[in-house]
């Protein structure tokens, strides 16, 4: 069976790495396509090295652009590749523009598509990722879900049970594998107690007012705790465009996977608007404050350590105080977040009628 994987942006690399490995261990032909949605060394190459992802067979080099042009560019450049390589199954990951673009191309060519991390819903159609999730699920034949919530979402949309395969969380597979190495990294001069921040959602960083109010709350927190903030290129651009002050924050360039994992394990709290980080902090038992009004990963709130603080900056500050006073949320690890989701996926795919 020939499986082609499509990756494009930072979170895809973390999700695809264990799946590539699980399938490689069981034999079979694999092709890897990198769309080039993320292209900076520290947003892409460094993840390939640390996660031991093989060199892509194809790099489409699409780069940045508006949603329409980025999605269209992936489609145009991916179509000849998939026609040439004639895979039996194409696996797409998560909810980025590269995911939906590749799924659309394959569905028109009648090539089976598997969506890894299917069924997530924030029910917020203002999020570009929500559109990508809904469309990708609609046109994928195989839906690999991380937990019961996602199965339910898909069933509510009328998806046949036979298409839904609950395998667990592939992102946690990478975490489980690389946690020991991450913990062994040097401490690089940070104090015992610090708060780790990431922000990159357009709703938070593209609005001057929103970004300003978040940074003001963080600057205030900077008076009593060290704030470590690896800055996404989009966010860095906006901070400078809007002329916002960050003098009380410890800004870093985006950090590689292992270094970021190390920071998460040591952080007293994580403040984020990322989806994957809500899951990683839940697994690690680190309190997480999510600067969003909703989440497509409700299990991290119901079972894990995540708390949604939305756009209420007072709530952000008071929840942070609670955590620093030792009253942070306790959680547990959801079922099937055990480091073996990719093994389950590989067994399902390789014993299917396609192979
Ligand atoms: C994308 C995903 C988002 C995911 C995030 C992880 C979509 C719709 N969004 O958002 O779901 O959480 O990746 O990071 O697919 N840039 C660089 N270097 C790079 C990549 C991007 O400088 O290597 C800059 C460019 O100015 C670009 C901007 O970042 O315009 C945004 O990049 P883009 O890939 O469009 O979306 P992300 O915000 O990274």
In tens, the pLDDT along 97-107 reads 999 999 999 99
pLDDT at 193: 85
Neighbours of 186 (CB within 10 A): 7
Closest residue by Cα to atom 6, ligand 1, is: 10
- Which residue owns the Cα nearest ligand 1 atom 20? 38
Closest CA to 315 of 294, 336, 289: 289
Q: Where do runs of H (alpha helix) occur along the chain? A: 10-25, 45-50, 67-85, 97-108, 128-139, 148-156, 170-183, 202-205, 208-221, 233-242, 257-266, 275-284, 299-302, 313-322, 341-350
CB 329 within 8 A of CB 308: no
| 93: pLDDT strictly greater than 80 | yes
pLDDT above 80 for 355: no
Distance (angstroms) between ligand 1 centre and the Cα of 234 equals 7
Instruction: Inform me whether the pLDDT recorded for 127 exceeds 90.
Output: yes
pLDDT in tens, 161-203: 999 999 999 999 999 999 999 999 988 778 888 999 999 999 9
Q: Which atom of ligand 1 is nearest to the CA of 275?
A: 12
Three-state secondary structure of 248-260: CEEEECCCCHHHH
Ligand 1 centre to CA of 16 (Å) is 18
Give the separation between CA 214 and CA 152, rounded to whole angstroms: 34
**Per-residue CA distances from 354 to 87, 97, 112, 133, 143 (Å):** 11, 27, 9, 24, 15
* Furthest-apart CA atoms within the chain: distance in Å: 60
Cβ 39 under 6 angstroms from ligand 1: yes
Segment 44-48 shows an average pLDDT of: 96
- Taking the C-alpha atoms of residue 262 and residue 287, their distance in angstroms, rounded to an integer, is 15
∠ CA(287), CA(254), CA(315), 5° rounding?
35
Instruction: Please give the mean pLDDT across all residues of the chain.
Output: 96
Query: Which residues are annotated as catalytic?
Result: 200
Bridge partner list, 172 = none
Instruction: Please report the sign of the dihedral spanned by the C-alpha atoms of residue 240, residue 242, residue 247, residue 250.
Output: negative
């Amino acid at each position: 069976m020939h499986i082609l994987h499509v990756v494009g942006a930072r979170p895809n690399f973390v999700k695809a790495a264990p799946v590539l490995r699980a399938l490689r261990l069981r034999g079979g032909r694999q092709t890897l396509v990198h769309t080039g949605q993320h292209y900076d060394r520290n947003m892409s190459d460094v993840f390939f090295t640390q996660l031991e992802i093989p060199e892509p067979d194809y790099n489409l080099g699409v780069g940045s652009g508006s949603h329409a042009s980025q999605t269209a560019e992936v489609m145009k450049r991916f179509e000849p590749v998939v026609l040439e390589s004639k895979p039996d199954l194409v696996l797409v990951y998560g909810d980025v523009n590269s995911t939906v673009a590749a799924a659309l191309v394959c569905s028109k060519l009648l090539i089976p598509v598997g969506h890894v991390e299917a069924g997530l819903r924030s029910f917020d159609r203002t999020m570009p990722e929500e559109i990508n999730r809904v469309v990708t699920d609609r046109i994928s034949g195989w839906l690999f879900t991380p937990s019961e919530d996602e199965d339910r979402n898909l069933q509510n949309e009328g998806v046949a049970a036979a298409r839904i395969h609950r395998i667990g969380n592939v992102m946690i597979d990478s975490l489980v594998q690389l946690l020991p190495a991450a913990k062994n990294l040097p401490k690089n001069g940070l104090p015992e107690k610090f708060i780790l921040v990431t922000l990159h959602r357009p709703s938070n960083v593209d609005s001057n007012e929103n970004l300003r109010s978040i940074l003001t709350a963080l600057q205030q927190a900077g008076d009593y705790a060290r704030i470590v903030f690896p800055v996404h290129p989009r966010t860095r651009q906006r901070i400078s465009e809007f002329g916002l002050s960050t003098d009380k924050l410890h800004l870093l360039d985006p950090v590689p996977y292992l270094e970021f994992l190390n920071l998460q394990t040591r952080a007293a709290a994580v403040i984020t608007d990322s989806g994957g980080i809500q899951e990683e902090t839940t697994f690690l038992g680190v309190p997480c404050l999510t600067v969003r009004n909703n989440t497509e990963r409700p299990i991290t709130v119901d079972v894990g350590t995540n708390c949604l603080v939305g756009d209420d900056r007072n709530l952000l500050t008071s929840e942070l105080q609670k955590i620093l006073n030792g009253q942070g949320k306790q959680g547990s690890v959801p079922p099937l977040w055990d480091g073996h989701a990719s093994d389950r996926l590989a067994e399902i795919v390789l014993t299917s009628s396609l192979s």
